[in-house]
Copies of this chain bind each other. A is one copy, B any other.
Amino acid sequence: MASIQVWQYDLVYNAFSFTIAVMASATIFFFLGRSQVAPAYRTALTLTGLVTFIALYHYVRIFNSWDASFTVVSGQIKDSGIKFNDAYRYVDWLLTVPLLLIELILVMRLSPSETIAKSTKLGLLAALMVVLGYPGEISEVSSTRWLWWGLAMLPFLVIVYDLFVGLSDAIAKQPASARGLVSLARYVTVISWCFYPIVFIFPMIGFTGSGAITAVQVGYTVADIVAKAAFGVLIYMIARRKSEAEGFVDGPGQLATAK
């Protein structure tokens, strides 16, 4: 790993620590929120919380790996010789990216057969996208990086097409109070996911050495926060609005006061 400035090391270190706090809080919020939505939306919130939980686990590992990679003594920073483990991000995405799409499908409450068909298709495409990105990520050869980047973009484009064309009928059928949010969730998915292929090409477009490392780590971290925690809040809001639209009343206490 290229030698790094103390401010760069600190920026990445603090970004990782911030993300641990975000993912842990988001997980608790989504799990506690399950009881506040109609039963039909609880699996969507379970998966939303699992995505941030899985990210929490990996950010703890990523943080520890970053910490072990460098030694800071008397304001001087040195490589410790222990390699920073890039693979944690990819094993995280392999689990969380399919789950993020399934969250969105579940909160739309399609028919059971459509739910299974769309979850399977989009989930497998998402996993394929992550698997195709990894050989590029670990390469330092620009042409190899571009090759795998291009291959990973193919399932990505199919997913985008499916979100915008394949789901438009289903979005039109959402209750009026939730329709705008569901459509927004779709845009947040696509826009936040665009961060990843952009961050991926940083080392190929002139970012070098410790600048590239810092930009890539901070870039992926921001993208993860938007795509997992902020997106999850949208899923929670959609589930709340739809529960209300369907007449869900939360608990016997509320029943008594509602009369």
Q: How far is the CB of A163 from chain B (nearest CB, A)?
A: 24
Q: Does A206 contact B (CB under 8 A)?
A: no
Which range contains the number of A residues in contact with the other chain? 35 or more
Chain B residues near A247: list those with CB within 8 A: 256-257
Smallest CB separation, A12 vs chain B (Å): 12
**Cα A42 to Cα B32 with chains together (Å):** 9
**Interface: A187 (CB within 8 A):** no
Instruction: Please state if A50 and B28 are interface contacts (CB–CB under 8 Å).
Output: yes
Complex-state Cα separation, A101 to B33, whole angstroms = 20
A230: Cβ under 8 A from any B Cβ? no
Which residues on the B side are within 8 Å of A47 (C-beta)?
A: 29
B252→A252 contact, CB < 8 A: yes
Which residues of chain A from 191 to 233 have a CB within 8 Å of any chain B CB? Answer: none
A254 CB contact (under 8 Å) in B40, B82, B257: B40
CA distance A248 to B252 in the complex (A): 9
**Does chain B have a CB within 8 A of A151?**
no
**Which residues of B are found within 8 Å of A257, using beta-carbon distances?**
38, 246-248
A25 lies within 8 A of chain B by Cβ: yes
Measured CB to CB, the nearest residue on chain B to A257 is B247
Interface positions, chain A 66-87, Cβ under 8 Å from B, are: 72-75, 81-83, 85, 87
Q: Is A46 an interface residue (CB 8 A)?
A: yes
Contacts of A81 in B (CB 8 A): 73-74
In the complex, which residues of chain B have a beta carbon less than 8 angstroms from the beta carbon of A36? 39, 42-43
Q: Which residues of B contact A87 (CB under 8 A)?
A: 10, 14
- Asked whether any CB of chain B lies closer than 8 Å to the CB of A235, the reply is no
Cross-interface CB contact of A250 among B17, B94, B253, cutoff 8 Å: B253
Q: A46-B33, A243-B253 in contact; A83/B75 too (CB < 8 A)?
A: yes
Given known contacts A36-B39, A46-B29, A257-B246, is B21 in contact with A91 (CB within 8 Å)?
A: yes
Interchain CB contact (< 8 A) of A39 among B22, B85, B88, B251: B251
**A128: interface (CB < 8 Å):** no
Residues of B within 8 A of A94 (CB): 18
17 contacts between A and B (CB under 8 A): A14-B85, A14-B91, A18-B91, A18-B94, A18-B95, A21-B95, A28-B46, A28-B49, A33-B43, A36-B42, A38-B257, A39-B251, A72-B83, A73-B81, A248-B253, A248-B257, A250-B253
